[in-house]
Amino acid sequence: MYRIMLADDEGIMLEALKNIITSNFGGECEIATAKTGRAVVELAERFRPDIAFMDIQMPGLNGIQAMKEIQKTNKNIIFIVISAYDKFGYAKEAINLGVLEYLTKPVNKRVVIDVCMKAMKKVDEDRQKRSDDLEIREKLETVIPILESGYLYNILLMDSFHNYNDNYRQLLGIQEKYGFMIVVEFGDSQENGELTNAVGAGVRAEKFYPELRETAREFFHCLVGPVMGNRVVILVPYENETIDYDERVHILTKTRNMVYKLETRIDSRFRAGIGRIREEQNLRESYSEAVQALRETDSHVVHINDIPTNEKTGEDCPEELETRYIQKVLKRDMPGSSQGAEELLDWMEDHYNGNMGAMKIKALELTVRLEQKVVATGGAGRKFNQKENSVQKLQELKSREEIGRWLWEQTREISRNVGSAREKPSESVMEKAKEYIRENFQKDLTLDEVSKVVDISPYYFSKLFKQETGENFIEYLTKVRMKNAEELLKDSSYSIKEICTASGYGDPNYFSRIFKKYEGVTPSEYRERLG
């Protein structure tokens, strides 16, 4: 069936065209007519014609103007222009609009039939092309997830990476040289910074995976990997080698919105860690950073740069093994620390094929990293002679068992130095933030400004500030300003207005209200009390 629209201000012309088309094509066509430019535009919106015969000279909008309006909502319509005038200007403009034929009145019956057949053939070709395109897109929707999964596996496992990465990039249309990883984790509930029932959540994920994939692509131009346990890896291609603070906050905001949307659509809890920008061949590191970000905080969403102390781990050892071992030591969980050390030794033995020298170096690296972590979190470091003696002992060892005992001795020794602040790597960052507030409270200071100074995203900074100080940002800032006001009120040479300005407030009335809320009296009453 072809929908054909006839537009002409002459009723006789309309009837003639309608009769010619009906008598020759019968039930193949559905025909609608209009006599003015405005009427034809409105008819085109309702009728959605495949073919339109348009008279140039019509009341109101002329044929050219009407065609421009119709093309705004119907790009596929085929126009055939009819005019009583053989005007080159009209013909040229009609050609620019993609008109199929330009006919001059009076129009021959044979010409109308031939043009109709030509237009119908083009409609059939366009429909077939759209059908083929849809079929290809349907097939791609099946194939693309497989390609994306293959590409991400290739990155994470480094399996013949350089042999196939160009093929993957071409098939997936990836132009960017850089990218970053987001690891999305899901489970039933959050306990001690981890999501529970990972196995059950992973099984359920097979059902909600299409929803997760669709949601991720709403927020990022990205590649979505398969379900791996209770995680899904997302690769976001990126044009630039680095990102500034504002762009990082923007990415965090989008990721947070994505996580919240997932939780509204899917009956599970979600978290996400974000790694740094990396070149394609180093995207595996971005993945490790995203996992580390998840493990070192209980936040919904965190970027690796928001973690104040995040030493780079040995690239040849599984990130999770080292992180789990160190976290157990920092919590003084000795059974857990012993198990973590044993797992690391098993890995070393398999990885280094019994090479005692390599195992000793790796064991030493682990103790150095562990001690650095302890010191960074407020603990004490060992004296030089203690470290020297431990290294000398390590050199003399000759078996896996001896290295294991040595590693466990170092673990216990270092764990004794874990201080009361062992779980607060952010204290130095918060001190820097508080110092900045104390030095700049007279200004129109905002949380965004302070978080940028310490290079932590506003959301994460706000949460961290509350955890470390017991107060939110505004409460702390107000307290600093009020203490300053109290000191200035002791000096009668300052007016209330001057003290208001010097305490970071622009409106004396607002300043008085805040002061009274804080002290229970107005600034004037406070000064009177001082005598």
Asked if residue 54 belongs to a domain, the reply is yes
Answer yes or no: do 372 and 272 share one domain: no
User: Which residue has better confidence, 200 or 316?
Assistant: 200
Task: Specify the residue for token string 């002061």.
Answer: 515
Give the mean model confidence (pLDDT) for residues 19-40.
91
Contacts of 353 (CB under 8 A, 6+ apart): none
Contact 472, 466 (CB under 8 A): yes
Answer yes or no: do 6 and 123 share one domain: yes
SS3 percent helix, strand, coil of the chain, rounded to 5, is 60, 10, 25
421-434 residue pLDDT tens: 444 455 678 888 89
Q: What is the CB-side half-sphere exposure of residue 371 using CA atoms within 13 A?
A: 18
Asked if residue 449 belongs to a domain, the reply is yes
> Domain limits at 477?
427-530
Q: What is the CATH number of the domain that holds 296?
A: 3.30.70.270
Mean pLDDT, the chain, rounded, equals 83
Is residue 531 pLDDT above 50, yes or no? Answer: yes
Q: Which helix (H) or strand (E) holds 519?
A: helix 508-519
Q: What is the CATH number of the domain that holds 107?
A: 3.40.50.2300
Is residue 222 pLDDT above 50, yes or no? Answer: yes
Is residue 310 pLDDT above 50, yes or no? Answer: no
Contacts of 347 (CB under 8 A, 6+ apart): 317, 318, 321
User: Which residue has better confidence, 408 or 166?
Assistant: 408
Task: Specify the residue for token string 């010191």.
Answer: 375
Report how many domains make up the chain: 4
Is residue 257 pLDDT above 90, yes or no? Answer: yes
The pLDDT of residue 49 is 95
Answer yes or no: do 411 and 437 share one domain: no
Asked if residue 170 belongs to a domain, the reply is no
Answer yes or no: do 97 and 14 share one domain: yes
pLDDT band at residue 138 under the 50/70/90 scheme: low
Answer yes or no: do 376 and 431 share one domain: no
- Considering 390, 415, 440, which residue would you say is the last residue of a domain? 415
Asked if residue 158 belongs to a domain, the reply is no
Answer yes or no: do 285 and 391 share one domain: no
Asked if residue 434 belongs to a domain, the reply is yes
Least confident of 63-67, 213-217, 390-394, 400-404: 390-394
Phi and psi at residue 342, to the nearest 5°: -65, -40
Q: What is the CATH number of the domain that holds 451?
A: 1.10.10.60
Asked if residue 17 belongs to a domain, the reply is yes
pLDDT band at residue 183 under the 50/70/90 scheme: very high
Answer yes or no: do 234 and 255 share one domain: yes
Answer yes or no: do 485 and 447 share one domain: yes
Answer yes or no: do 301 and 197 share one domain: yes
Answer yes or no: do 120 and 179 share one domain: no
Is residue 236 pLDDT above 90, yes or no? Answer: yes
385-405 residue pLDDT tens: 666 677 778 878 888 888 888
Q: In terms of pTM, does the model score above 0.95?
A: no
Q: CA nearest 272: which of 299, 253, 245, 310? A: 299
